[in-house]
Amino acid sequence: MAPTSTPQTPFGRVLTAMVTPFTADGALDLDGAQQLAAHLVDSGNDGLIVNGTTGESPTTSDAEKAQLVRAVVDAVGDRAFVVAGAGTNDTDHSLELARAARDAGAHGLLAVTPYYSKPPQEGLFRHFTAIADATDLPVMLYDIPGRSGVPINTETMVRLAEHPRIVANKDAKGDLGRASWAIARSGLAWYSGDDMLNLPLLSVGAVGFVSVVGHVVTPELRALLDAHLHGDVTKATEIHQKLLPVFTGMFRTQGVITTKAALGLQGLPAGPLRLPLVELSPDETEQLKRDLAAGGVHL
């Protein structure tokens, strides 16, 4: 049974978008995934996103996605929300993934804006509605126009929020003004999907984070959130500023690449990447070490 949710925090407050560990020969590493999931929950995560962008979802098969959900639910599903990425740019395929994630035990779905096709807002509305209608699981939208090419406009957010199972949004739009209006008008639970903007988004009404840097600094993210919730703006700002080198360093290149490198430096399961992603160069690895050390991460 999943942890108890509330309308304000349907998936908890601190979630990490988990990488998908692979073995040395590139196969799915289910044992490693369970170990990593347990480590992240032990570190303070309320939930994990699996099969998202950071999980290399573009290069994992449908069967691998279902196996991964099942393994992570078995490992931590009684202690943390397991939210499965189910969004693609093909609505019918997304419905298949949503149902497979439900059957594998996921507690919720993450639905990214359809990429590449650049659908109009009505197409987005119908796509997300179809995903929400496909199962009885709660849905978190994922608004990331830098990857998808199309933003979810505020009016569309407001319409989608009327659906009883569309309960949250992961915001990687990078626009605090639009976020402010969408939070106020939609009532969706708002999660920061851009680590550099975690604190600013809290200030305009976000309830928590879907983080990449949570792989290495979950306790600090939790402390930042708790400080903000208790009105200690000075402490929250201090933690935010301390983490700036981590935020910067983990996104000097594609985030999956640096995250797997950071996990490897800490002796945690990660493994290689699948093409077209490639490992950090030796110089890039040294820079990552410097960035993490500057942010207080011990390797």
Q: What share of the chain is helix, strand, coil (3-state, %, to 5)?
A: 50, 15, 35
| DSSP per-residue codes, 119-172 | --HHHHHHHHHHHHHHSSS-EEEEE-HHHHS----HHHHHHHTTSTTEEEEEE-
Q: What's the rounded Cα separation, in Å, for the pair 80 and 52? A: 17
Q: What's the rounded Cα separation, in Å, for the pair 89 and 264? A: 32
- 95: which DSSP letter? H
Q: What's the rounded Cα separation, in Å, for the pair 204 and 9? A: 16
Q: Supply the angle between the helices 255-265 and 282-294 in degrees, to the nearest 10.
A: 80
CA angle (202, 206, 209) in 5-degree steps: 85
Instruction: Report whether 210 belongs to an annotated binding site.
Output: yes
Which of 258, 266, 203 shows the shortest CA–CA distance to 231?
A: 203
For the chain, give the number of residues.
299
Instruction: Report whether 54 belongs to an annotated binding site.
Output: yes
Q: Which residues carry out catalysis?
A: 142, 170
Q: Which helix (H) or strand (E) holds 247?
A: helix 244-249
For the annotated binding site, the residues are 54, 210
Residue numbers in the known binding site for pyruvate are 54, 210
